[in-house]
Homo-oligomer: A and B are copies of this chain.
Amino acid sequence: MAARQAWRDYILQPDLGNLGNLGATIQTTLVMLENQQAGPRSPCKPSDLRSLIRAIEICPDDGVPLPAVLSDLNERVWAHCVLPNHPACAAHFHPPPLTPAIVTEVAIAATNQSMDSWDQAPAGTELELHLMSWLGSALGLPESASGVMTSGGTASNLLGLSLARSRFAKDNGHDVLANGLPAEATSWRIVTSDQAHFSIQRAASQLGLGSSSVVTVPTEASGRMDLGALDAVLQDLHARGLHVIAIVATAGTTDLGAVDSIDAIADRASEIGCWFHVDAAVGGAFVLSDQLLPLLAGVDRASSVTVDFHKLWFQPFNASALVVRDATDFDMLKVQSSYLDRGDEPEGIVNLVGRSLDTSRRFDAAKVVASLRTLGRRSMGAMVEHLVDLTQCAADEIEATSTLRLIAPVNTVTCVFDQIGGSPETLRLAQQHLFERGEAVIGRTFVKDRHALKLTFVNPLATRRDVRNLVHEVASELNRVSSLVGLT
């Protein structure tokens, strides 16, 4: 029995009375993670990394002592991370996480609340609701606004568009959740810009409408939705008897960092009377800065808004939110379940499963609140402003070279460029070589009909000097590759 119940050592006492004992093990883990890599990633080859990791026996019959497990994971896994804290890690919206959030992750895991029902997360439910109200208010939405945390911007966009689908169906006498899409759904359209995130198409695919139901509006050179083109698209759809169930504006596009003219797009949505979703996965953080807030003008007119705390709010994954203008909109989603959300709970009890496409769900709101309270709005805003400044610095540096050129002017925190006279192949090789050698992690994309390299600035630790160095590193690698392939 003693041998069989060895697992008792690995579960905390009922009152978490022995939780402090974990501290030493955590401290050892933290110290192990320190100083392992000089650059933004280890230069381990994919095939070598695979061998290293495939040698881990996942579930031996008998357990391995925890210190040995942790040290083995350290050598084989943690030593081969990409480090978003490094200034040469600038490929994606992949932020270095704030320490108050990291600390709070321990409490989130140790208490293991589940956000689907109040009786699994009483304080968790209330704090998430409080955070969602605050976010609604920061976005300028009315008091009726509320929201729910999701696993990411893709999930938030899916939820927002699912609500849009339900609303349109309901207004036309259909219960789409019960009965599925009606025949006329082939005429339903979602309108967004050609720079919107692919999760809009993906949501349409999952919702049964198909990615072809997403009509994309051309963008200006800056990447912002062209309003004239939007009007033309809407007129054309109307003329063809097609129905717009939602217009989606983007506040911070993935490649160009562009923020659509939200207010002007809201006018169109309001004229049609359709759902107006704002994908502010990137740009939601602009509410933190007086300087950047004006970019979001009109977001207070949205039906729903996606905000990713794990982007420019510097939270560890996952932490996203879908805020709706009117909390009762979630009623369209609600499924009563006999065991979880019966509808006969005492007054004041909210089971968040009624707002979510998830059931069990971790208490990510806690880390967001810990971070916002510790840093405060001024510091949070200054971080985002610093990133915008770094991006402009990168753009200036790129323009100052004789070999690189911007593909679009800088909007916010991304910078897209290519090599004068270069080929797509040169861009690919340069990006891959820098990555393989562990020197820089930069992005590569295809935007405005051109192959491009991309820098995404989400690391507030980076300085202007870091950014200039990174641009020069990229330029010189492009030169090297070009001379190898005989282009220069």
Contacts and interface: CB of A to CB of B under 8 A. Distances in A.
B34 A15 contact: yes
A96 B11 contact: yes
Contacts of A130: 53-54, 56, 58
Given A73-B366, A374-B10, A432 B346 contact: yes
A31 B6 contact: no
A92 B206 CA distance: 29
A83 B124 contact: no
A145 to B, nearest CB: 14
Contacts of A362: 316-318
Interface in A326-370: 335, 337-340, 342, 344, 346-349, 357-363, 366, 369-370
A244 B106 CA distance: 45
A244 to B, nearest CB: 16
B118 A46 contact: yes
A459 to B, nearest CB: 8
Given A98-B11, A376-B59, A27 B37 contact: no
Contacts of A199: 359
Interface in A425-469: 428, 432, 435-436, 441, 443-447, 454, 460-461
A206 B100 CA distance: 36
A64 B318 contact: no
Given A153-B360, A460-B7, A27 B20 contact: yes
A36 B126 CA distance: 19
B86 A110 contact: no
Interface stretch (A173-181, A297-305, A397-405): A173-181
Interface stretch (A223-231, A379-387, A474-482): A379-387
A232 interface: no
A344 B382 CA distance: 38
B34 A64 contact: no
A432 B342 CA distance: 13
B359 A7 contact: no
Interface residues of A, number: 191
A15 B29 contact: no
10 contacts: A16-B36, A19-B30, A62-B377, A63-B376, A72-B373, A77-B123, A94-B120, A106-B106, A114-B317, A153-B360
A335 B41 CA distance: 27
A465 to B, nearest CB: 13
Interface stretch (A208-216, A233-241, A262-270): A208-216
A90 B127 CA distance: 23
Contacts of A380: 7, 59
A271 interface: no
Interface in A161-215: 162, 176-181, 183, 185-186, 198-199, 201-202, 204-213
Given A60-B373, A85-B13, A99-B11, A151 B361 contact: yes
Contacts of A30: 19-20, 22-23, 26, 106, 110
Given A30-B110, A106-B30, A85 B346 contact: no
Interface string A39-80: 011101011011001101111111111100110110011111
A258 to B, nearest CB: 14
A443 B317 contact: no
A316 B108 contact: yes
A396 interface: no
Contacts of A386: 5
Given A77-B127, A82-B121, A339 B454 contact: yes
10 closest residue pairs by CB, A with B: A208-B208, A180-B210, A63-B376, A317-B362, A80-B123, A23-B27, A339-B445, A177-B205, A46-B348, A105-B109
Given A92-B119, A317-B361, 19 more contacts: A8-B460, A10-B375, A14-B461, A42-B122, A57-B373, A58-B373, A63-B375, A64-B376, A69-B100, A69-B373, A70-B100, A70-B104, A76-B123, A81-B123, A82-B121, A97-B109, A110-B316, A152-B358, A181-B210
